[in-house]
């Protein structure tokens, strides 16, 4: 019992989001470019971000830091990585939602996250449906199964 | 002679129990994996519905009324948050459990916990109701406060006497008010769809942690077997 890993419990934790901008002609006409420069959001499309904000998950702290990031064409890999690292190191975030398309851009970072909290969930976006083969956890399982089958064949 | 037979019997029983434990871990892992994929599929459908409703609302209200410029960047706390508690898997391991707290307002003070569902690591059973029997919210612990589950049938009044159903509606309206006073019914529907998506995501998160935990157990057992 003394060596059990400690789970960080919380009475009230946040959901963070990193999303990719929905690249459509409709979106481009209605959106202003400046607003995406400082919006950090889930990893989903803009509509997904708005949807979850409607559901009440948006949080802006005293330093005007949000719990979300919208990734657009101008967002660099470094910015996405920095946002991911920030969300995964914050004590008040329990789940990070990231669209699979953006997760693929920082796949190494996502796969190297092995803490139970925050939980990293890859979800679909409008343009990019969910692909189980690319999911971080499922690909680990697949690797394990393939390694075991090779090992048993050798035996 | 008798002692030898007894020892042999005990050894066989031990091996049998070990095999049983391994099978149990494997079954729980496969069960959680199946649940994970099923819920992700359900999430995709719910999100698609939400996107469609949001697009309909944008069509009805106009693109200028539903765009990112209206996102609230004033300092505010999330109305919907999570409670993280610890669940004992066995004597040597524990895993986090997530519970969604929808529309928790700071004005409400303490509330009853409403419906609490116990969590036990049991296999799912497929039936017509796809999600029934799936591992549900965990047993809460005493170290939390200002928390309630969003269960419409279990509401009690707040200290001010306002029914919680009304408080939920007030919080929802506050969230919608970013897009104006009069909003399209489609926007309200989109809000409900994304709320459902959130509930599904919390279930996915719980299954995700269970799956990872069982995966580690199975991996450990396989290494022991090979070693």
The ipTM estimated for the assembled molecules is: 0.78
Q: Are A51 and B54 an interchain contact pair (Cβ–Cβ within 8 Å)?
A: yes
What pLDDT, on the 0 to 100 scale, is given for residue B77?
77
Average pLDDT, chain B: 71
| Residues B6-34 pLDDT 10s | 666 666 666 666 666 678 888 888 899 99
CB A44 within 8 A of CB A72: no
Dihedral sign for Cα atoms in the order B145, B151, B153, B159 = positive
How far is the C-alpha of B131 from the C-alpha of B196, rounded, in Å? 13
What percent of chain A has pLDDT above 90? 21
pLDDT at A45 over 90: no
| Minimal C-alpha gap between B57 and chain A (Å) | 12
Per-residue confidence band for B86, with pLDDT thresholds at 50, 70 and 90: confident
For the segment B48-76, what is each residue's pLDDT rounded down to a tens digit? 999 999 999 988 888 877 776 666 667 77
Residue in chain B nearest A48 by alpha carbon: B51
d(CA B63, CA A27): 9
Q: Which residues in chain B are closer than 8 Å to A45, comparing Cβ atoms? A: 51
Higher pLDDT, A46 or B138: A46
Helices B185-226 and A46-54, packing angle to 10 deg: 100
Tell me, what's the pLDDT at B100?
87
Residue A150 Cα, gap to closest chain B Cα (Å): 12
pLDDT at A153 over 90: no
Mean pLDDT of chain A: 76
Contact A94 B190 (CB under 8 A): no
The CATH fold assigned to A14-20+43-135 is: Rossmann fold (3.40.50)
Q: Distance (Å, rounded) from C-alpha A16 to C-alpha A37?
A: 17
Kindly tell me if the per-residue pLDDT of B83 is higher than 80: yes
Closest chain B residue by Cα to residue A36: B68
Better-scored residue on pLDDT, B88 or B138? B88
Q: Could you read off the pLDDT of A67-119 as tens digits, one per residue?
A: 888 888 888 999 999 999 999 998 889 999 999 999 999 999 999 988 888 99
């Amino acid at each position: 019992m003394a060596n059990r890993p400690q789970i960080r419990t919380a009475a009230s934790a946040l959901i963070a989001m990193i999303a990719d901008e929905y690249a459509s002609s409709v979106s481009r006409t209605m959106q202003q470019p400046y607003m995406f420069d400082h919006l950090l959001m889930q990893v989903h499309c803009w509509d997904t971000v708005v949807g979850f904000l409607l559901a009440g998950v948006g949080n802006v702290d005293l330093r005007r830091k949000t719990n979300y990031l919208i990734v657009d064409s101008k967002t660099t890999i470094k910015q996405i990585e920095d946002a991911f690292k920030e969300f995964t190191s914050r004590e008040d975030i329990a789940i990070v939602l990231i669209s699979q398309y953006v997760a693929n851009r920082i796949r190494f970072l996502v796969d190297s996250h092995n803490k139970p909290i925050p939980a990293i969930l890859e979800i679909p976006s409008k343009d990019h449906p969910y692909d189980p083969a690319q999911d971080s956890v499922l690909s680990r399982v697949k690797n394990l199964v393939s390694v075991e089958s090779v090992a048993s064949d050798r035996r | 002679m008798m002692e030898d037979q007894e020892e042999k019997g005990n050894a066989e029983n031990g091996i049998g129990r070990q095999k049983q434990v391994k099978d149990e871990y494997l079954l729980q892992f496969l069960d959680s994996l199946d649940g994970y994929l099923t819920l992700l599929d359900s999430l995709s459908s719910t999100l698609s519905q939400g996107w469609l409703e949001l697009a309909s609302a944008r069509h009805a209200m106009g693109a200028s009324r539903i765009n990112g410029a209206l996102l609230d960047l004033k300092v505010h706390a999330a109305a919907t948050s999570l409670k993280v508690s610890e669940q004992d898997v066995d004597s040597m391991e524990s895993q986090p459990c997530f519970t969604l707290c929808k529309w928790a307002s700071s004005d409400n003070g303490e509330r009853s916990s409403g419906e609490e569902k116990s969590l036990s690591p049991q296999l799912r059973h497929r039936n017509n109701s796809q999600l029934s029997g799936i591992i549900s919210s965990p047993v809460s612990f005493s170290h939390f406060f200002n928390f309630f589950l969003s269960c419409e049938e279990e509401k009690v009044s707040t200290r001010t006497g306002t029914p919680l159903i009304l408080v939920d509606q007030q919080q929802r309206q506050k969230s919608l008010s970013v897009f104006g006073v009069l909003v399209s019914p489609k926007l309200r529907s989109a809000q409900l769809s994304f709320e459902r998506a959130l509930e599904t995501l919390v279930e996915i998160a719980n299954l995700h942690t269970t799956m990872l935990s069982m995966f580690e157990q199975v991996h450990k057992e396989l290494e022991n077997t090979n070693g």
